[in-house]
Amino acid sequence: MIDKRKKSIEESLDGLLKDGVTLLIGGFGDSGAPFELMQGVLTAGFRDLTIVSNNAGTGDRGIAALLEAGLVKKVICSYPRSSGAYVIERMYKEGAVELEVVPQGTLVERIRCGGAGLGGFYTPTGIGTPMAEGKEVKIIKGREYILEEALFGDIALIKAAVADRWGNLLYTKASRNFGPVMATSASRTIVQVCKTVELGCLNPEAIVTPGIFVDQIVEVRADNEF
Amino acid sequence: MIDKRKKSIEESLDGLLKDGVTLLIGGFGDSGAPFELMQGVLTAGFRDLTIVSNNAGTGDRGIAALLEAGLVKKVICSYPRSSGAYVIERMYKEGAVELEVVPQGTLVERIRCGGAGLGGFYTPTGIGTPMAEGKEVKIIKGREYILEEALFGDIALIKAAVADRWGNLLYTKASRNFGPVMATSASRTIVQVCKTVELGCLNPEAIVTPGIFVDQIVEVRADNEF
Amino acid sequence: MSSNKKKREIKGLTRNQIAWRAAQDVTDGSYVNLGIGMPTLIADYVNPEKEIIYHSENGLLGMGPAPSSQNEDPDLINAGKLYVTLKAGGAYFDTSTSFCMMRGGHLTSVFMGAFQVSESGYLANWSTDDGILIPSVGGSMDLAIGTKDVRILMNHVTNEGKARIVRECTYPLTAKSVVSRIYTDLAIIDVTERGLMVCEIVDGLDFDELQGLTDATLSLANNWSILKIPEI
Amino acid sequence: MSSNKKKREIKGLTRNQIAWRAAQDVTDGSYVNLGIGMPTLIADYVNPEKEIIYHSENGLLGMGPAPSSQNEDPDLINAGKLYVTLKAGGAYFDTSTSFCMMRGGHLTSVFMGAFQVSESGYLANWSTDDGILIPSVGGSMDLAIGTKDVRILMNHVTNEGKARIVRECTYPLTAKSVVSRIYTDLAIIDVTERGLMVCEIVDGLDFDELQGLTDATLSLANNWSILKIPEI
């Protein structure tokens, strides 16, 4: 029987983390960010992490907490600047963390490429800008494009609203953001959900992430109610 | 006010067709194939069409009818062979139509690329096969990939189950197939639907094709009931 | 406003007035993305008889106005992380689909802020490259390169009085040759094949004075007019 | 069966028996794609205590068996365009997502038919390049290149008695170095770094006879056994 449900955050992460792994972390700001899973990563304490996420944390929790604890070697994101992003701002200025800033559409497409088994793609985004530096430029049908390569993670940590034991997922409103793509592009995908339901309860037409992309589910009763 | 609904197949196609256009036509076999829209194309009678679709028609209707009427210059598809595909088989052997056979995953990804504003992508599919002939091969992280370019259509013709006046779409079961991707990758996307509903009736979490990708909707009361 | 510091007292537009003027150009039935900051104000001034579908890069189409404080939902925010609502007909989708809309040319118009616009319509609006702000690009490059109609809202000069409309951008570029119209506190300027054409100027400012506040070369459109805005 | 035409009467497996044998190797909890033809029969022989999630390239996960004739739905078909059902927990998705699963390595195993397999695990199963069949590739190349575990079901020789397991494929390739195991009417053969290893042979056929029906060089695995199949 297929049952991807785990009893706790600890169990869901058990044996997967080690020094130097690349984590894909869902969320746009706080919306869709898997805070409880990130807390589990903090507790585990492995170092030299590479974090791929849209933002780089605000306040003292989530990615900011991982940074502050000195566990992060590199952040690949599109928008580290935010109200309250003082940890990444300080560590960036101190040179205490590597930062790779990627246009958001390129970031999500690179992750999608990894999950789709593709090697890379040509995007017009960034032509003539610092984003093109050191990258191959090709003219296709008269237009300039930059080659961007696939980005694949060791572990994806995402948040969803509802799951069944096969790992089929629904999300809430705009918290969906990077979740469906990140789920496809890591060796292991771990999902914290607000609720689990019996197999067959989810409408097969409305499932957003089919369970094939999900390895482990852990229920975290959050402030979001369904 | 935005109202993408048209009163008839003729009205939905009016002024868009001309000789030499490229049509993206949804469907996997008969499932999801927009037969009434194709009948409209047949009636309009424009020639030298390029047709992009997964299959190349069976029996005497749909793509087979367009072929038989001599309207088609070229077919780009993944699987023309099928029980009852005698029109394409005969015309292919006679050299009466150009045929470009593309792996199905490459076909859908080329169309997606067009809709996503990308120039092309590197796929491992087809390496070492006739599909790689004449194409750039690149090694990325030690693996060989073929460059495939975006495929964009003048008109996409697809079939969906339900639409609202903004063009938001739901599909039925496996008839979804190429519809959501083709909708994104044509100058005009025309959708035949079984039913239209009031704005707000569709669950915003479950909409499969957001209306931004759809230009015109025409209701065709088909055998599919909801 | 910076224009207040000039020798003569020219009444430049306020942020809300610039947004009001831009709102007059939003076309009925269009798909529009409003950037963070001043552009977000545009929605408040669009004629409610127009049906506009607002896009937010984090995965919304059909975005509506801010909710009442009791109805704020942390999972219903816009790209600026402000609480919003969803109109009937709206849809949620993932980031990949959202950027397919943006980079794929599916939006009608985007209204963004900028640090600089060049006379060829080059846009610099993501980094001042001064080591003060942490570099953050977000969706701005995809929006700029992908959208057919890119409109910029900004003050005509910086707080220090330096021109923002320049011969060549000195800040890191966002995209080349993308801007179609610039709305400033002093004028409306179209980027055309014949260069920058001034369409409207605020009352009391003459063309030569405007040129004096502009690094790039301006031309006055034949059908130029006074930029008239209601008190807001 | 072609083997019946040999000098001695060797009882090769039927199509259903080959499928039965392959079904024994389907692992509990796996995501499996079954190709058109003989591989489709596998699902009938998998131990029902195993929970298998079947994928169909046209946009289904959790595919179930054929429906009763009253419940046939033209929009619920598999890649072979046969009527199927969807199990509880199943999902529908578009072709793009379906090929992300396939090419992205998300499936556990695929079972396909073939014209030829080479000793390096090269696969030819989409075109005989003889001008008789119209070339049609469908999803076969994406499945073969993307899936970690590619297993082939085919008769050991052609109807004309020619070897299908060859030193080098003469038919157009589907993919290079992808096949892990071959199930024929005569034997089960693993493609390994040390070449083709025969794991099981039907009763009454000896290794040299099997090699005689094979163009590629075979080796006998240390732990080889008689290929035993129930009457079906």
Question: 3-state secondary structure string, A37-51?
Answer: HHHHHHHHCCCCEEE
Mean pLDDT of B170-188: 98
Given a contact cutoff of 8 angstroms between Cβ atoms, the answer to whether B168 and B201 are in contact is no
Q: What is the pLDDT of residue B222?
A: 59
CA distance B158 to chain D (A): 13
Instruction: Report the relative pairing of strands D60-64 and D53-56 from DSSP bridges.
Output: antiparallel
Q: What is the pLDDT of residue C131?
A: 76
The tens digit of pLDDT for each residue in C102-161 reads 999 999 999 999 999 999 999 999 998 887 789 999 999 999 999 999 999 999 999 999
Q: What is the pLDDT of residue C130?
A: 82
Q: What is the pLDDT of residue D130?
A: 82
Instruction: Check whether D2 has a pLDDT greater than 50.
Output: no
Contacts of C129 (CB under 8 A, 6+ apart): C135, C171, C172
Residue D90, chain B, CB below 8 Å: the answer is no
Contacts of D174 (CB under 8 A, 6+ apart): B129, D114, D123, D124, D125, D126, D137, D140, D141, D144
Specify the DSSP class assigned to residue B94: H
Strands (E), A97-203: 98-101, 120-123, 137-140, 143-149, 153-163, 169-170, 186-196
Mutate to test the interface with B, among C100, C109, C150 (most CBs of B within 10 A): C100
User: How far from A28 is each of A80, A83, B65, B86, D229, CA to CA, in Å?
Assistant: 11, 13, 49, 52, 56
Mean pLDDT of B184-194: 98
pTM (two decimals): 0.96
Q: Which of B133-142, B158-167, D10-19 comes out lowest in average pLDDT?
A: D10-19
Specify the DSSP class assigned to residue A209: B
Mean pLDDT of D207-230: 97
pLDDT band at residue B226 using 50, 70 and 90 as cut-offs: very low
Taking the domain D13-227, which CATH number applies?
Answer: 3.40.1080.10
Query: Which DSSP string corresponds to D187-198?
Result: EEEEEETTEEEE
Given a contact cutoff of 8 angstroms between Cβ atoms, the answer to whether B12 and B216 are in contact is yes
Q: What is the pLDDT of residue C129?
A: 82
The tens digit of pLDDT for each residue in B20-79 reads 999 999 999 999 999 999 999 999 999 999 999 999 999 999 999 999 999 999 999 999
Of the candidates B99, B95, B96, the one whose C-alpha atom is nearest the C-alpha of residue B81 is B99
Mean pLDDT of B153-176: 98
Element (H, E) at D88: strand D85-92
Mean pLDDT of D46-66: 97
Burial of D225 (0-12, 13-18, 19+ CB in 10 A): exposed
**Which residue shows structure tokens 């939902």?**
C73
Instruction: Check whether D183 has a pLDDT greater than 60.
Output: yes
Q: What is the pLDDT of residue D11?
A: 83
CA distance C19 to chain B (A): 22
C-alpha–C-alpha distance, residues C69 and B138, integer Å: 54
Beta-carbon separation of A116 and D55 below 8 A? no
Nearest CB to A206: which of B120, B143, B205? B205
**C-alpha angle C11/C13/C19, rounded to 5°?**
175
Q: What is the pLDDT of residue C10?
A: 78
ipTM comes to 0.96
The region, left, alpha or beta by phi > 0 then psi within -120 to 50, assigned to residue B82 is beta
Of the candidates C154, C116, C119, the one whose C-alpha atom is nearest the C-alpha of residue C3 is C154
Low-confidence residues in chain A, pLDDT < 70: 222-226
Given a contact cutoff of 8 angstroms between Cβ atoms, the answer to whether D225 and D202 are in contact is no
CA distance A118 to chain B (A): 5
Question: Chains near B, with 3+ CB pairs < 8 A?
Answer: A, C, D
What is the mean pLDDT for each group of 10 consecutive residues in chain C (232 residues)? Answer: 54 95 98 96 97 98 96 96 97 98 98 98 92 90 98 97 98 97 98 97 96 98 95 86
Q: Percentage of chain D surpassing pLDDT 90?
A: 91
Strands (E), chain B: 5-6, 22-25, 49-52, 72-77, 98-101, 120-123, 137-140, 143-149, 153-163, 169-170, 186-196, 216-219
C-alpha–C-alpha distance, residues C86 and D42, integer Å: 48
Given a contact cutoff of 8 angstroms between Cβ atoms, the answer to whether D132 and D92 are in contact is no
Q: What is the pLDDT of residue A10?
A: 96
**Which residue shows structure tokens 């300039």?**
A144
C-alpha–C-alpha distance, residues A12 and A38, integer Å: 12
The tens digit of pLDDT for each residue in B148-164 reads 999 999 999 999 999 99
Token duo for residue B99: 């045929």
Mean pLDDT of B91-115: 97
The gap from C-alpha C75 to its chain's centroid, in whole angstroms, comes to 26
Residues of D in contact with A152 (CB under 8 A): none
Minimum CA–CA partner of B148 in chain A: A121
Mutate to test the interface with B, among D54, D75, D169 (most CBs of B within 10 A): D75
The region, left, alpha or beta by phi > 0 then psi within -120 to 50, assigned to residue A104 is alpha
C-alpha–C-alpha distance, residues D177 and D180, integer Å: 9
C-alpha–C-alpha distance, residues C133 and D108, integer Å: 47
Of the candidates C137, C146, B147, the one whose C-alpha atom is nearest the C-alpha of residue A121 is B147
**Which residue shows structure tokens 């008889």?**
C49
Question: Chains near D, with 3+ CB pairs < 8 A?
Answer: A, B
Instruction: Check whether B225 has a pLDDT greater than 50.
Output: no
The tens digit of pLDDT for each residue in D142-169 reads 999 999 999 999 999 999 999 999 999 9
Q: What residues 6-65 of chain C have any CB closer than 8 A to a CB of chain B? A: 28-29, 31, 51, 53, 55, 61-62
Where do the domains of chain B lie, and which CATH numbers do they carry? Answer: 5-119+153-219 (3.40.1080.10)
Give chain B's mean pLDDT: 96
pLDDT band at residue D1 using 50, 70 and 90 as cut-offs: very low
